[in-house]
Amino acid sequence: MQLQAVEILRQLATPAQSKMVLLVMDGLGGLPHEKTGLTELETAKTPNLDRLAKENSVGLTTPLIPGVTPGSAPAHLALFGYDAFEYPIGRGVLSAVGIGLDLTPNDVACRVNFATMKDGVIVDRRAGRIPTEEAARLCEALSAVKLPGVELIIRPEMQHRAVIVWRGEGLSDAIADTDPQVTGVPPLPARALAPEAEKMAALVNEFLAQANRILANEPRANTVLLRGFGRLPHIPTLQELYGLRAAVIAAYPMYRGLAKLVGMEERPAGKTFRDQLASLKEAWNEYDYFFLHVKGTDAAGEDGDFDRKVALIEEVDAALPELLELKPDVLVITGDHSTPARMRGHSWHPVPVLLVSPLARRNPWVNGFGESEAAKGALGHIRSQELMGLMLAHAGRLKKYGA
Amino acid sequence: MQLQAVEILRQLATPAQSKMVLLVMDGLGGLPHEKTGLTELETAKTPNLDRLAKENSVGLTTPLIPGVTPGSAPAHLALFGYDAFEYPIGRGVLSAVGIGLDLTPNDVACRVNFATMKDGVIVDRRAGRIPTEEAARLCEALSAVKLPGVELIIRPEMQHRAVIVWRGEGLSDAIADTDPQVTGVPPLPARALAPEAEKMAALVNEFLAQANRILANEPRANTVLLRGFGRLPHIPTLQELYGLRAAVIAAYPMYRGLAKLVGMEERPAGKTFRDQLASLKEAWNEYDYFFLHVKGTDAAGEDGDFDRKVALIEEVDAALPELLELKPDVLVITGDHSTPARMRGHSWHPVPVLLVSPLARRNPWVNGFGESEAAKGALGHIRSQELMGLMLAHAGRLKKYGA
């Protein structure tokens, strides 16, 4: 059904002179604070969002299906209008694309975590979150690893995170993670998940052996954990589907990577949300669709820091007038999923969504933008995937279906 | 999509130390009383349900698809998380499993109604609702029927209802009901619904001829009507899908039968709702998921007895504190479908649902538990089938999907 929806939108797509903005505050949805009964978004002082909510449409989105907590990649694919279950994407591919590595269809990518091992067991899965520069030096050192018939591209991402691209003939991505996910145990050996992956498993284990020798004298990052082996999926781009020139303005590599997979071009994000808005302004005439990603809200939620999440939402709200000055034809403000500070992680709870457009139905009875008010809004409860059709429609980019 | 949803939940399922309770008041949903404008549930004094509704999430469920009135079996399959359209279950199979008959995959089961025939036409399709003991005696008598190559297992169910299991080679369940559904006409002969069922149809007609001779002198139950021919479907169990140890506490055979088909173990139900709660308490440590079934609400609705339905809902409400003392991690209270007293039968109307969990979003603006308030609740409108994902999520039993 969901694939069919994409196909129907594709058939109906028509060009228009209109601008669409998708502003994602990662992990926006929350749960009530035990003392006040208000969520992070409801606690934040957001005069701009509140006014927009009253004068436009709000609702709640279920990212994938009820009860399912999404990772960032499927949650964003859904926001971009895709059936996330059709396009499983390995973390390695996301990271590789995010830092600008051009993957070919045969390449296998995996995510690397530098870690600390002592007496054969992992004692810190993140090597004390070493700075990115240190990871860069270590990636350089690991380039000395030699494997028969395989070219390795090893690049730092952020802090203790890095990426390896495995290039060569007969490789496979059917390799289980070597990250045991807990400390106090040895790293797992690479294990083939399919018979044809045995050769690859042997290569990965040889890599690990050489890597451990190279890193042996490092004080913190003396080993690596590998996970998320995968290949580039073929996803039709937003250009192919709807004729959209789309841009991503996101500080975090993974989100840029994901956006580029669906055909978005990368524009600078700077350091702050105001930097992102400045970049948006500069790119305004060149694109039809803009994806702005704010990471801090999710990170605060994952840290269990209710107040920091509130402050970050307020920061976005305060800068909104700058965005509104551009007069987008459609502006959607939402999250990819919920990350309630109370749960210190992603959750399945529906996410408030705000659809701003001169053509949006209005819900003047709604008192501001928050989970509770969104439950009463004019948009009702929808799936994240359905937002793309609504955005295209409000932007005048869909023809009528049938006579 | 709905089958895919089950598969996704299956992949994400993970063990946890948590308890889930599904409390079904059969036929809970209703329609407004013509004088008061309030439904049965809205009329009932339910201080416990009202408080729980305010402090947790309420919503409405559509049992199958909008407009479709479900039978009890598909409605419950949906509540257990299955795509009911994938697993059509004959009434005979349900009854057989419900009274503890072990069916093999080749067995055919059908439901028997003892009936009263006069001058060749049916005058009472329920034989005056003869007591179960009388039906037991008649089943005994019918065991004298001899058919070539077929073993017959004939057992009473409740009142005028009984079950026949047909065991042998080359049998078929493609047999039309012999129950004409109205009085004043003769019973229908057994008719094959597929060419390969001709032999079976002949066997059934031979059975009917012998049965009529055996019952000829009975004052009330002098014939039988057969319906719901079917075979055991293969339904993956809740244990296979989600690793759940599940228990059913239900007084009516059919509901126990259905629950056992999806892998639930039977625990005693006693006579009253308080008996069921006592049984729940006793079984508490042995299972992860409990299905409690209250039949009276549906029966009252089918009898058009608004007040009795109200009273039964009040009885459940009054006993709820006992259930809450067990502190289930997730408690869902709902119906399988609506049975408005005004309609004297099942209907398609959405059913109020209450999801109680420390992780549930709250809807403090909701004034009690009823159809109208549920329409404004934080859960919105969902499908019954989607409840399973929500229950598993709130019970901490689903991993994240994707990176």
Which ipTM did the prediction report? 0.88
Nearest CB among A72, A348, A349 relative to B403 is that of A72
Cα separation, B121 vs B186, in Å, equals 4
Residue A7's contacts (CB-CB under 8 Å, 6 or more residues apart) are none
Q: Quote the pLDDT of residue B158.
A: 86
- Please give the full DSSP string across B117-140, using - where no structure is assigned: EETTEEEETTTTT--HHHHHHHHH
- Please give the full DSSP string across B153-193, using - where no structure is assigned: EEEE-STTEEEEEEEETT----B-----SSSSSPPPPP-BS
Residue A82's contacts (CB-CB under 8 Å, 6 or more residues apart) are A6, A235, A262, A385
The full set of domains in chain B, from first to last, is 13-88+235-394 (3.40.720.10), 94-230 (no CATH)
**Quick check: A3 pLDDT over 80?**
no
pLDDT band at A398 (very low <50, low <70, confident <90, very high): very high
Distances (CA, A) of A87 to A9, A78, A248, B195: 18, 10, 20, 45
Taking residue B196's Cβ as centre, other Cβ atoms within 10 Å add up to 11
Q: Quote the pLDDT of residue B2.
A: 64
What would the mean pLDDT of B136-155 be, rounded to a whole number? 96
Chain B residues with CB under 8 Å of A90 CB are 403
pLDDT band at B3 (very low <50, low <70, confident <90, very high): low
Chain A residues with CB under 8 Å of B380 CB are 60, 350, 375, 380-381
Q: Quote the pLDDT of residue A4.
A: 87
**Quick check: A100 pLDDT over 90?**
no
- Please give the full DSSP string across A375-389, using - where no structure is assigned: TTSTTEEEEGGGHHH
Q: Quote the pLDDT of residue A403.
A: 85
pLDDT band at A185 (very low <50, low <70, confident <90, very high): very high
Residue B214's contacts (CB-CB under 8 Å, 6 or more residues apart) are B141, B142, B144, B145
Q: Quote the pLDDT of residue B99.
A: 85
Q: Which of A257-261, A308-312, A395-399, B363-367 has the lowest mean pLDDT?
A: A257-261
Q: Quote the pLDDT of residue A1.
A: 54
Q: Quote the pLDDT of residue B244.
A: 98
B391 to chain A, closest Cα gap in Å: 7
B403 or B361, greater pLDDT:
B361
A39 to chain B, closest Cα gap in Å: 10
H/E stretch holding A163 reads strand A161-168
Q: Quote the pLDDT of residue B105.
A: 84
Put simply, the answer to whether B402 touches A371 (Cβ < 8 Å) is no
Put simply, the answer to whether A348 touches B381 (Cβ < 8 Å) is no
B243 or B232, greater pLDDT:
B243
Q: Which of A393-402, B96-105, B127-136 has the lowest mean pLDDT?
A: B96-105
| Residue owning tokens 């419900």 | B98
B151 to chain A, closest Cα gap in Å: 46
- Measured in whole angstroms, the distance separating CA B197 from the mean position of its chain's CA atoms is 28
List the single residue in B with minimal CA-CA distance to A65.
B5
- HSE-CB at A66 with a 13 A cutoff on CA atoms is 23
The verdict on B97 touching A (C-beta cutoff 8 Å) is: no
Put simply, the answer to whether A381 touches B377 (Cβ < 8 Å) is no
List the single residue in B with minimal CA-CA distance to A380.
B380
Q: Quote the pLDDT of residue B81.
A: 97
Put simply, the answer to whether A380 touches B380 (Cβ < 8 Å) is yes
B132 or B158, greater pLDDT:
B132
Q: Which of A33, A68, A181 is the best mutation test for B, with the most CBs of B within 10 A?
A: A68
Q: Which of B12, B85, B361 is the best mutation test for A, with the most CBs of A within 10 A?
A: B361
- Mean pLDDT across chain B, nearest whole number? 95
| Residue owning tokens 């049916």 | B122
Q: Which of A47-51, A202-206, B155-159 has the lowest mean pLDDT?
A: B155-159
Cα separation, B315 vs B329, in Å, equals 23
Q: Which of B85-99, B165-179, B387-401 has the lowest mean pLDDT?
A: B85-99
Chain A residues with CB under 8 Å of B359 CB are 31, 343, 347
Q: Quote the pLDDT of residue B363.
A: 95
* Predicted confidence (pLDDT) per residue in A299-331, tens digit: 999 999 999 999 999 999 999 999 999 999 999
**Quick check: A356 pLDDT over 60?**
yes
**Quick check: B86 pLDDT over 80?**
yes
- Measured in whole angstroms, the distance separating CA A177 from the mean position of its chain's CA atoms is 20
Q: Quote the pLDDT of residue B100.
A: 81
Tokens, residue B184 = 């004043």
A124, A185 Cβ separation under 8 angstroms: no
Cα separation, B324 vs B56, in Å, equals 13
DSSP H helices in A179-293: 198-215, 238-242, 253-261, 273-283
- Measured in whole angstroms, the distance separating CA B345 from the mean position of its chain's CA atoms is 14
Tokens, residue B306 = 């608004």
User: Residues of chain A with pLDDT > 70: what percent?
Assistant: 99
A283, A277 Cβ separation under 8 angstroms: no
Cα separation, B276 vs B270, in Å, equals 6
Query: Which value, in Å, is the radius of gyration of the alpha carbons in chain B?
Result: 22
Cα separation, A171 vs A165, in Å, equals 11
Q: Quote the pLDDT of residue B253.
A: 84
What would the mean pLDDT of B309-321 be, rounded to a whole number? 98
**Quick check: A204 pLDDT over 70?**
yes
B335, B297 Cβ separation under 8 angstroms: yes
Chain A residues with CB under 8 Å of B398 CB are 67-69, 348
